């Protein structure tokens, strides 16, 4: 960390941030309520997803599952269907599993103890701290992506924040800056500052309450702080997806609970160099090729997947075919299922 940090920035940081948040921060977000359940759901949805994207999903989710008991009692398919399109589906599975864990282990009451919150599936240190601060007023430090960017710029922290040594330095800084009072406004202020002013691209330094003391603004280093992740080329993968038709319905398969698109309904797949007709026969269906469908590419955080859909007609569904974990649905019914985004695009294009 640079030694040229303004002393006034360190001493008065929390008070200045709280004052700015109360006057200029976000106050109309739907999860800004005194309900631990609503706060928890929002914090899980907001992991790696922007507020504007989350709001409509959050509204639909709370309308369908207004409390912890209704979420815990729901089938996983219903939870995943409402999550469909939001991505990072492990969040939905963990949310569902955590709801059941709270019902079983905490009498259906969301725990207020920080360690108990951390022990729930899908909740790490920063998410638990945000829930504890917003829901229970507990004095805890957060360190999500926005906060890392704010701290790196304000205090001139070099290095990629994902590197262990850099992240530990940021955690120490986050803990040292905590206010004695006003933790909700302070925590929300950190999030607001990163989301509305100290953005990754085109930061609005003129409106920032810390512009005069910020190391990045003073030294013209906004573009280089925080340091980017060391670049690695994304691996390229390819697959064929089988669009099997019978009687106006499409075959969907349940994916394994773990791994990519875990627990979602998807189209059957086969290797990119396989014969689609032969792949269908291996599934137990004699199929005839139909019109070619346009390919598409879906990018994950760690690889890029090239998908070639192949439409095939299944004249007869043999009674002997074991169809556990499979569904035949009309395109309209399929669109309402818990589908990965590229599968939904394929079906909508039909």
Q: Give the C-alpha distances (Å, rounded to integers) separating 309 from 8, 46, 285, 289, 326.
A: 60, 32, 17, 11, 18
The residues, ordered by sequence, that sit 6+ positions from 187 with a Cβ below 8 Å of its Cβ are: 129, 130, 133, 134, 142
Residue 102, sorted as left (phi over 0), alpha (psi -120 to 50) or beta, turns out to be alpha
Rounded Cα gap, residues 267 and 254, in angstroms? 9
Nearest-5° Cα angle at 258, 95 to 271: 140
Question: Token pair for residue 14?
Answer: 């929390």
The residues, ordered by sequence, that sit 6+ positions from 276 with a Cβ below 8 Å of its Cβ are: 240, 242, 270, 287, 289, 310, 312
From the candidates 43, 52, 269, 278, which is the catalytic residue?
Answer: 43
Place of tokens 């492990």: 90
Burial class of residue 124 in the structure, from the number of CB atoms within 10 Å of its CB (0-12 exposed, 13-18 middle, 19+ buried): exposed
188, 25 in Cβ contact below 8 A?
yes
| Coil vs helix vs strand at 16 | helix
Active site residue 43: yes
The residues, ordered by sequence, that sit 6+ positions from 176 with a Cβ below 8 Å of its Cβ are: none
Roughly what angle, to the nearest 10 degrees, separates helices 125-136 and 183-192?
130
**DSSP class of residue 205?**
G
Which residues are part of the catalytic machinery? 43
């Amino acid at each position: 960390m640079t030694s040229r940090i303004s002393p006034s920035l360190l001493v008065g940081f929390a008070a200045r941030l709280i004052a700015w948040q109360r006057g200029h921060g976000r106050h109309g977000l739907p999860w800004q309520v005194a309900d631990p359940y609503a706060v928890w759901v929002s914090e899980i949805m907001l992991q790696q997803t922007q507020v504007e994207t989350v709001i409509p999903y959050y509204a639909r989710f709370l309308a369908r599952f207004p409390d912890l008991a209704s979420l815990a009692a729901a089938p996983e398919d219903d939870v995943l269907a409402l999550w469909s399109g939001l991505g990072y589906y492990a969040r939905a599975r963990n949310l569902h599993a955590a709801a059941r864990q709270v019902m079983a282990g905490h009498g259906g009451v969301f725990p207020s103890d920080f360690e108990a919150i951390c022990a729930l599936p899908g909740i790490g240190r920063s998410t638990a701290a945000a829930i504890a601060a917003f829901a229970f007023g507990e004095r805890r430090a957060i360190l999500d992506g926005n906060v890392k960017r704010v701290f790196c710029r304000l205090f001139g922290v070099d290095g990629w924040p994902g590197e262990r040594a850099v992240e530990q330095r940021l955690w120490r800084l986050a803990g040292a800056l905590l206010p004695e009072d006003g933790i909700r406004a302070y925590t929300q202020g950190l999030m607001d500052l990163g989301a509305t002013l100290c953005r990754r691209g085109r930061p609005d330094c003129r409106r920032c309450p810390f512009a005069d003391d910020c190391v990045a603004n003073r030294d013209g280093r906004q573009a280089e702080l925080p340091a980017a992740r060391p670049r690695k080329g994304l691996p390229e993968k390819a697959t064929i997806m089988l669009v099997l038709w019978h009687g106006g319905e499409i075959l969907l398969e349940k994916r394994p609970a773990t791994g990519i698109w875990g627990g979602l309904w998807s189209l059957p797949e086969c290797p990119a160099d396989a014969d689609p007709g032969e792949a269908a026969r291996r599934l137990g269906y004699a199929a005839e090729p139909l019109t070619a469908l346009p390919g598409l590419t879906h990018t994950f955080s760690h690889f890029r997947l090239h998908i070639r859909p192949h439409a095939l007609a299944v004249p007869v569904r043999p009674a002997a075919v074991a169809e556990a974990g499979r569904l035949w649905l009309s395109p309209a019914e399929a669109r309402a299922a818990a589908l990965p985004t590229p599968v939904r695009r394929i079906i909508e294009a039909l």
